[in-house]
Structure 1
Amino acid sequence: MSPKLTADEVLRGARALYEARAKRVPVAPFTDADPDLGADDGYAVQRELTALLVADGDEVIGYKAGLTSAPMQQMLGVSTPDYGPVLASTVHPDGASVSRDAFIAPKVEAEIVFRLGKSLTGPGVTPARARAAVGEVMAGLEIVDSRIADWRIGLADTIADLASNGAAVLGRPLAPPPEMDFRLLGMAFSRDGELIATGAGAAALGDPAAVVAWLANVLGERGVSLEAGQLIMTGALHAAVPLVPGAVFTAEFDRLGAITLHVS
């Protein structure tokens, strides 16, 4: 399906989100004006917004998948994940301190992150082939943020808004042994030492490797390949929680270790 939006409307939407990111002032949902906007409209705006950010000196270093859990898909009334770019400027090391004021309405979630050791070009990529392409696996904390007012997002809105990306904190990379089953990697998520959520890799589309395969195939339809060295964020393992000033968030993963984020 081709976008409903005209080229001028796509550019206006991208510039509105660009300004919202810069000024931290949200915009109304695009689907308020046209509830029939779909994924193709969102991706058209996303491509223009990404181009604006890259022109400013940022760099796309991978992709994030969103809506990989059944509850999130049900919430938006969709049956498929979405994706957006991972920008170099948004990635932080374990233990980083991130300012709450850098965002509009941030939330944080724990997930499994891969770095590809081999390129993947869809269509036709299977989870087994995606698994074989993984060079490193690591614990991740993603800050999701919405430049759409009050998180009133339809599918087109969140896609246009770079799949609601905000920032990411990455843990120590590990070359996964052949016997590691990403589905079974358990996770305990805490705020200020208090356990507030648990999850496992299977929450992400049944298998985080299946997320990589889905992403490779969807991008392949658009003439884009996943390249060796790129990061792939595979989606939340639990419901996202608000990012509150002064808090310390910790995700403890089986096999991958713990990762911590400080909020200033």
Structure 2
Amino acid sequence: MTDEWPELDLRAAYEVQDETLRRRLARGEHLVGVKLGLTSRAKQQRMNIDSPLVAWLTDAMVLPAGEPVPQARLIHPRVEPELVFVMRERLAGPGITAARALAAVERVHAGAEVIDSRYRDFRFTLPDVVADNASSAAFAVGGRGVRPEDLDLALEAVLVEVDGRVVDSATGAAVQGHPGEALALAANDLARRGLAIEAGQLVLTGGMTDAVAAPPGARIAFHFSNLGSIHLSGGA
């Protein structure tokens, strides 16, 4: 978008994102949470982006267990493993620390996000991807939830398996040094827009590894140390 509109800045990009959410809600979708994008320094460097971003999740993005990646409504889907927080309390910045953020969390789950950029070759600037709701397409959440105090989130590891072969791995430390830092960042970022993370909402804290392509026929699994596994199919 910035190729044709170089004046697009982050303020305007978030206005576009919020207007897109308003239209989703108007057609019957329900807000279920927020997500962070580009929380991994490695992903920031690969995408030539210098900071994380926040975007919206609705119930229309939920990928039920066993359902394939919805190829018919996507362009070039990719999937990545995430740690997902379910909030017990409302979390409103500014000034939220990682410790305060984690105290508001009910449970931690394994997660998988399907990202799908509107931009050719996933090439974009930070305002571009913010306006595109951080490439949000779909997400799946594992069934096993663990209290955050019962888990070393920085050391929680994941193995990425594609068609039976392990292709990547990471720990929670890849997400802003600690997933709690990502949660605090989301609350403080939303506060600048007069918004907060509400009790009961989900927070996807950002890809732990780089995303892998999810074409038809692909078999993808994310195996977590303590949170179980999530299996995804690229579909037919």
Alignment check: 8 A CA contact 2:83 2:108 kept: yes
Alignment check: 8 A CA contact 2:108 2:148 kept: no
Query: Of 70, 84, 90, which residue of structure 2 is paired with 1:113?
Result: 84
Query: Of 163, 177, 180, which residue of structure 2 is paired with 1:206?
Result: 177
Alignment check: 8 A CA contact 2:80 2:209 kept: yes
Corresponding position of 1:261: 232
Cα distance in 1 for residues equivalent to 2:175 and 2:40:
5
Matched, 1:250 2:231: no
Cα offsets for 1:77-117 (capped at 9, x unmatched)? 44321011011111123333223222011111111111101
State the TM-score, normalizing by the size of structure 1: 0.85
Task: Determine helix, strand or coil for the equivalent of 2:3.
Answer: helix
Residue identity opposite 1:194 in structure 2? R
Corresponding position of 1:47: 18
Task: Determine helix, strand or coil for the equivalent of 1:181.
Answer: coil
Worse-superposed segment, 174-183 or 134-143? 174-183
RMSD: 1.4
Query: Of 98, 119, 126, which residue of structure 2 is paired with 1:148?
Result: 119
Corresponding position of 2:138: 167
State the TM-score, normalizing by the size of structure 2: 0.95
Higher Cα Rg: structure 1 or 2?
A: 1
Cα distance in 2 for residues equivalent to 1:129 and 1:216:
11
Alignment check: 8 A CA contact 1:99 1:245 kept: no
Cα distance in 1 for residues equivalent to 2:100 and 2:229:
28
Alignment check: 8 A CA contact 2:47 2:123 kept: no
Give the 5 Å matches for 1:1-264.
Answer: 30-176=1-147, 178-264=149-235
Alignment check: 8 A CA contact 2:49 2:125 kept: no
Gaps of 5+ in 1: 1-29
Structure 1 runs of 4+ aligned residues shifted over 6 Å read none
Gaps of 5+ in 2: none
Task: Determine helix, strand or coil for the equivalent of 2:63.
Answer: strand
Cα distance in 1 for residues equivalent to 2:144 and 2:185:
23
Cα distance in 2 for residues equivalent to 1:66 and 1:141:
13
Once the two structures are TM-superposed, the CA of residue 167 in structure 1 deviates from its matched residue by 0.4
Once the two structures are TM-superposed, the CA of residue 165 in structure 1 deviates from its matched residue by 0.4
